Structures are given as structure tokens and as C-alpha cells.
Structure 1
Amino acid sequence: MACDSSYGPVLNNSACSQMRGDYIQCAKLTEICYDSKNVTDCVTAENCFYGIFQLYKTSNRSMYDIRKHCDDDLCYPELQDIEKYSNREDVKTALGANPSLVFHVRKADVGINFYNSGDWILPFDIYVSSLLESNVRVLIYAGDADLRCNWFGLDAWTKALKWSGTKGFNNANVTRWVTVTGTHSGDVRTFKELTFLRIFGSGHYVPHDQPIASLDFFNKWIFNKYL
């Protein structure tokens, strides 16, 4: 994503080569974590990938949108407004929330605790497989400018997912996702209950970047219509 996306390379060849080389060791450490389920092993694997992310940080691009030249916390000033709004007494009352609770858009110690428990590196695809085998529809989507949850990786793991429809999903055609406005807003692959949607012109916060397209796929999905 950082080296060969539709938006052009973010990193130079040297950094890209180092990332590809470092990944080999990170993948081995991840397998050790999966086998042992030991917190220390899992945190070691996380630290390896953290080093790769630090290489990306040298680009001064947002991890949530490779098109943006800004610090992640400053890329979306609207988040501060959301935090203020959510902490208003009348809003908490309307939501039935405990008035003593304080809403944070991002709270560092929560993320740190997940990291230190080894949770970040653990596999959760097995739960997706269980949903699919129970005939529960699953939509995986990604903005094509998002690095943190990049579409290359999401596309890869949906293809590698172990379930009864693995072969059918991989053989399914990628089709154009056209919204009600007639705009080609992304590409979609669907087989039985699993759908993967790549959304054009969007970073991590898809509704922020593509509100009309977001409403389109949300409504279609909720009302069980094909994208």
C-alpha cells in the first residue's frame, strides 16, 4: 500500500525493500504467537510490525489516508467536535448513557492495554468463518487510500479465509459498484454470504470521505440488495 497503490508510491525503494525484508521475520514471529498463544510471544510479533509502521511514519503521511500530509490526530479536526457533542449532558441523557461517563474519540491507555496483552496480533478471522457457516451475511469494506486497514490486505485475507465458500469466493468476478447516482464508486466481489467492497477515493473514515457512496452501500446492505 505504501509502495504501489493507485495513488502512487509513498515510500522510496530503499524503505520498501526494508519493509518487505522485515516482514519475513514478522511473519515468523506471528506464527510463533499463534502456536504458543503466549503474551510475550505475541507482543514480540507486535513490536516487529510496529517497526515496519515506523518506517512508514518517515513519510509524514497519515496512516488513515495516504493522500494526507498531516499528523493523524490533526487530519480530522471534526473528531474534536464529535467528542464535545457526545459529552453534552442533554446528548447523554437522550442516549440513556450514564451522565458520569466521559466519551473519548481516542484514549491512548486503552490501545496500550490491548497492545500489551498481545491482542493486536491475534487472528479473528475464525469468527468470520463461523458467521458465514451459520449463513450470516458479512460485508468487509475498505477505502482505497487507507493504510491502517488497507484494501490489499483485506482483499488478501478474505480470499485466504477458510470456509465452505473459499473456492467460490476466489472464483467470483470482481464487478463495478455503481451507486444510485450512477457513479462507479468502487469494486465488489460477492459469493453467497461474503462480500468484499473496495471504495474509491476514501481513507479510513469512509462516511467522512464518501458520504453519498457510504449511504448507498449501507442502505443496499441493510435491505439485502446486491451492491
Structure 2
Amino acid sequence: MTATIDRHELAQRIAADIPEGSYVNLGIGAPTLVADYLPADQEIILHTENGLLGMGPTPDPTHIDPDLINAGKQAVTAVPGAAYFHHADSFGMMRGGHLDVCVLGAFQVSERGDLANWSTGGSDAIPAVGGAMDLAIGAKSVYVMTDLLTKTGEPKLVVSCTYPLTGVGCVTRVYTDHAIFDVTPDGLAVREAFGDNTVASLSALTGLTLREAGT
């Protein structure tokens, strides 16, 4: 069976790639794990769209402040110097291009870097894109954190997205449990493969024409 890495290992890998001094937003779900693996000797400032700049790692269960939550309603911590502000100001930061990196989940990413990461949840449900559109277009770099395959074995990396789009051509890099992919003008390139995965095996899994990054 092809070797993969788990979400905590992937979160640690993403954290290592975020440049020091970056302002970063972590999307709802698995991306929030990245906060727990940021290097302690570097200043990386986390933003959450519900109005906090200077978010810290997950709190100890015995020291949870119910007033401190992220956009996914998870308990968080605040680092010294953290700032709180109105929701509208937070979205102004996102839309104004003030975030260096955002990490988002995905249902699909196209080989051109189109992102589909929201769902109505049902035919009669209200759409719930949230702030994902603002993040996808407003951040300077968009990292996607997702499994390469769905639970039924379908690839999430596709030629063209069939789900509603969150953003067009906005994805910079895709981090999956099988490999890391760069979005380039010539399509997706394998930056790093995990375990016994290869460019050839990943091409077979996704049905895409892949190449090694830098070639």
C-alpha cells in the first residue's frame, strides 16, 4: 500500500514552510493544526477572521477561555501583544492584501490552481462559503491542506473543478497526505513525495500529467 503521512505530520510540514514574519490565516478544519507546529523561535502572526490578530496554539483543556475562539468556534490562545477588532475590520485586512499566507482545506483543486472548498451541505441548505473567497483572493500565497483522495478514492486534484469555485487560479501550493504539489503555469508539479510515492504513481492516482518541480 502506498505510504502516506497523517494530518499532524502534514501540519508540521506546512508550518515549516511559512516564512518568518508572515501574517497568516488558518482555515476551518485541518488547517488549524498548523498553529501547534509553528517554530517557537520565529515570529509568525496568526489572524482569524472573527477578529483576532496574534492567535496562539491550542490551549490546555484546563485553561480554556470561552471568549477566545477562532472562526471555527474552536478554543484558542492569544499571544502577548494580540489585538482584537471588529469583524468588518478583519475582512478589510483580508480583502486589502495584508495577509501573506492562508491555509485552506479543499474539495477540489484544478491543475490551473482553481479552488473549490465550500458546499451548501444539501439541496435546501443556505450556502456557507464564509470568508474563504476573501482569503483565497486576498492572501499573497494560498496553501491548500487536504487528502489527495476522497473517502471513495476519487482524486481531489483534477483537470477542472466540478464543485462551485471559491477562487480562480488562486492556489500556490497543495499539501496532501501523499505529496506536496506546486501550481505552475504548466500545471501541477510534485515538490515532495512521501513514502514510496513517485511522480509516476501520483500521475496514475490523479489521472493528471505531473512532473517533478524544477524540471
User: TM-score if structure 1 supplies the norm length?
Assistant: 0.25
Between 1 and 2, higher relative CO (CA 8 Å, sep ≥ 6) is seen in 2
> Which structure carries more strand by proportion?
2
